[in-house]
Structure 1
Amino acid sequence: MIDYTRLYQGLQHIPALRAWLSQLPQQVAEGLSPKRWGDLPDWRSTLEALPDIAPSSIQLNHRICAGNAADASAEQLQLLEAGLKKLHPWRKGPWDLFGVSIDTEWRSDWKWDRVQPHLAPLKNRLVLDVGCGNGYHCWRAYGAGARRVIGIDPSAKSVAQFYALKKYLGNEKPVDLLPLGIEVLPENLHAFDTTFSMGVLYHRRSPMDHLRDLRGTLRPGGQLVLETLVIDGKLGDCLVPEGRYAKMRNVWFCPSCATLESWLRKCGFDNPRTVDLSTTTTEEQRRTDWMRFESLADFLDPQSPGKTIEGHPAPKRAVLVAKVP
């Protein structure tokens, strides 16, 4: 079920990406190596065992939904839910497949609602989503009119979840998720009309390198959409947690919005601006039956929920947009 044939064929018709084809199949093979992901054979078996159900309708705009319960037998729905739960944990969503509601840890639809008003129109655009998880925002971008969407995420579990969803949302649709990090993309592609990087920057040890890599993916005039953790503060302020942040080991930099805008200008972007600022709530990020591990409520100080368990400012996220000149 994990098949990139259609993508490879499609890239033949995009001049700026055609040269990538000389490297891409090998990169995909390395990203989906069983030596790297010991559970990958089990995830592939789970995908193969998912029931064949034809959706009577597909929605990709205001919500992501394939069909309804009347499209499937009770046995098929039972097999579907059991198979999807084998791919636990589900972080990004929500999703609805034939009435099986995948209640994910994150209400990613809320994030999309904050981002969408500030996007350049996506109709007929080539879109890249960096660190996309299981591809929720890839499908929303396609639903908003993008002609092709490519997501990249190094997690093979995310790829497996994506292909479980694509089986029902449409294998023929030009939406794909590659098992790659941005560091293996060819430098200076200058190919995409819109590049998303949401929830990635604070995990990068070198934020400037990440911003420069993002700039290299975009054509002149292309739009960057950046969402990341920030702190309140003035130009130059930046939190660099010495230990963990909200129990995460890999949080390196949480700048103020003014600092982040300055970083974007320094990396060659035009007109960077903060278009949304929101405090993450336990309604937006929480434990569910589809994500049974710890979540935001466990990461905050129970006596002072305005702080993390380590005493840092509680998670606040900003959305910034910028253009490539």
Structure 2
Amino acid sequence: MAWLVTGGAGYIGSHVVRAFQAEGLDVVVLDNLSSGHESFVPTSVPFVRGDVLDGDLLLHTFHKHHVHGVVHVAGFKYAGVSVQRPLHTYEQNVTATATLLAAMSAAAIDRIVFSSSAAVYGTPHTDLVTEATAKSPESPYGESKLIGEWLLRDQAIATGLRHTSLRYFNVVGSGDLALSDTSPHNLFPLVFAALLDGRTPRINGDDYATPDGTCVRDYIHVADLALSHVAAARRLDAGNGIEAVYNLGSGDGVSVGEIMATVRRVTGIDFTPQIGSRRAGDPDRIVASGALAARDLRWSMRHTLEQMVQSAWDSSRAAAL
């Protein structure tokens, strides 16, 4: 019996795969490689190249690999770009999730861990976000993730699906030199690519309603996040009680300006970032409590900000060689 990790060739998904392997759990990866890399998938893990929108392929994969649960990481994850590409975002994040759930139902697969997002909160009117904080997404991306949570909720009512949604915040760092964040939109890879090319990094906006004018977020290490996916899967396998949603938050905010200062220290490269315009759909501040996840999903901030930057910098340099 195996867990299927959709998007398992991507930056986050590949760390999830390794976390499952480290705990002796069988996994299979399905990824269309639109943003993932087949080289990120261990040779010992079955890899299916294909799309979550392909229901027939999902059913074939379920049966061939004896899948009994799904970790759904695949999706279109760029909040700013989603404002320009709303229909694409809904297709990749809503239609694909509905297709996956239909195939799971047809194959009698009754457990799923869903990759959701802090973007469901929009700009919260509270200093510390909890799972009960009002949802008010400000981008098609955030809306699509909230709809994904609703799909799981409604399917649970209809079929008894067992599920949980993990709301991610800013995922950074690396747990393996071979696994780097290659997103063309995320802060860390953009900054490191600029430094490696001898260019000055650029950040999006310094006029947010925060102490230094730059966005404030929870920054969490990808390997810590991956461990909580395993804990969620084990909880579902054991039939233990599980919350419908969990915030994987640190409880402490870090600004983009503070990130830049840490990058300067870690890399030894002195620079003053260029200031670009703010991105559509980016709220000023999101900082969340991870108390529920700490209680149930082994959630913990095991890495300091400096360790997050150092591991991300090391993997970026390794990828550039």
Give the TM-score taking structure 2 as reference length: 0.41
Give the TM-score taking structure 1 as reference length: 0.40
Ranked by relative contact order (alpha carbons within 8 Å, sequence separation 6 or more), the top structure is 2
Higher helix proportion: 2
Higher strand proportion: 1
- Decide which structure has the larger Cα Rg and report it: 1
